[in-house]
Amino acid sequence: MTQHSRRRLLFGGAAIGTGVLLAACTSNEQQTPTEAQTKAADGGGNAEPGKQVTIGFSAPAADHGWIAAITNNAKAQAGAYSDVEFKTVEAGADAAAQRAALSTLISQKPDVIVLLPHDGKELNSFGLEAMQAGIPVVNLDRAFPDAKAYRLQIKGDNYGMGVAAATFIVEQLKAKGVSNPVIAEIAGIDSLELTQERTQGFNDTLAQHGFKVANRRAAEFTVDSGQREASQLLQALPKIDAIWNHDDDQGIGVLAAFSQANRSEFFMVGGAGSKKAMEDIQADNTVLKATVTYSPSMASSAISLARLIGQDRGMSDLVELQVPKEIVLASETITKENASNYLKLGF
């Protein structure tokens, strides 16, 4: 993976040059330092070994491709640093179990804690506890509502995902001359703020062009739930022009439902950027014509930045002396034309 492609995916158009911090895509294999990291180490940059840092880590069980990639990326990134000890704690089946495991971790006094919570709102109290105990918290993906509960928060642009998906759909419909389209939406877990933000971005962008969603279903980020909700959607709408499915993992079930019902009069946009989705888009043999990114490589950045926080260092490409408080990844649109550039980043 090149320095340019990493920087472009992880931080979009933001003027944050963090290529020196990043290594590893979605793999458990030992990763070698990137060219940028090697140069930084030679020049005394951020990749140069510093104070030994213990990073505690927790994420839900890898029963979903995106979640698995989060954990794999975190492990691989930690392994790229000789000055990082990586300590994983089980997240359990729900927020309460993860909270208990993380409380045990606090007693071990790691330098920094990186976590992807089951639910940001329910784990907010843990973030406050850890921060009050003097342990910086790096929160991933599912936001804590209280800014005092984290030192750094990294997440994808959920609202931007909706904007990107709607923009592609609008462009395609206008190119086909469809003036009164039937647009459907298959969301993820509705109780999560990230799902609500994705839907808001989608609705706002459609409304700007005089369009709206005719039917919306909420799945659970699983293949089975995707197939179930897609089947019910098809029953509700005898004709559809376009669909946005929020998640490529549940999209496997969604596509299965379409095939089973022998329905293909519409096109679909996916979400997150799985390797399978990119391959389908590239092959152009299903209704899936695009997906909008929400990269699990944010976990690699989280480990790199947690290390710097633990060493009381800033980012060498910034004038500021400290790591930023918030980082939001841009959502990019993957189509048949550019899928080959993104395949190596798929999970």
Give the pLDDT of the chain (347 residues) as one tens digit per residue.
333 333 333 333 333 333 333 333 333 333 444 443 333 333 347 888 999 999 999 999 877 789 999 999 999 999 999 999 999 998 998 999 999 999 999 999 999 999 999 999 999 999 999 999 999 999 999 989 999 999 999 999 999 999 999 999 999 999 999 999 999 999 999 998 899 999 999 999 999 999 999 999 999 999 999 999 999 999 999 999 999 999 999 999 999 999 999 999 999 999 999 999 999 999 999 999 999 999 898 999 999 999 999 999 998 888 888 999 999 999 999 999 999 999 988 88
Cα angle vertex 193, ends 100, 154, to 5°? Answer: 70
Give the separation between CA 307 and CA 248, rounded to whole angstroms: 31
What is the torsional sign of CA 47, 18, 296, 193?
positive
Give the separation between CA 204 and CA 213, rounded to whole angstroms: 11
| pTM for this prediction | 0.79
Q: Which pLDDT does position 294 carry in this prediction?
A: 93
Pick the CATH number of 158-293 from 3.40.50.2300, 1.10.357.10, 3.40.50.720, 3.40.50.300: 3.40.50.2300
- Please say whether the beta carbons of 140 and 116 come within 8 A: yes
Give the separation between CA 242 and CA 263, rounded to whole angstroms: 12
Tell me: domain 3-150+297-328, CATH 3.40.50.2300, correct?
Answer: yes
Same fold, 3-150+297-328 and 158-293: yes
Beta bridge partners of 152: 138
Give the separation between CA 298 and CA 304, rounded to whole angstroms: 10
DSSP for 168-194?
HHHHHHHHTT-SS--EEEEES-TTSHH
Amino acid identity for residue 86 in this structure? F
Q: Which pLDDT does position 36 carry in this prediction?
A: 38
Q: Which pLDDT does position 2 carry in this prediction?
A: 36
Neighbours of 236 (CB within 10 A): 12
Give the separation between CA 121 and CA 227, rounded to whole angstroms: 28
Q: Which of 278, 295, 192, 206 is nearest to 242 (CA)?
A: 206
Q: Which pLDDT does position 3 carry in this prediction?
A: 34
Give the separation between CA 150 and CA 341, rounded to whole angstroms: 34
Residue spans of the domains in the chain: they are 3-150+297-328, 158-293
- Strands (E) located in 72-128: 84-88, 112-115
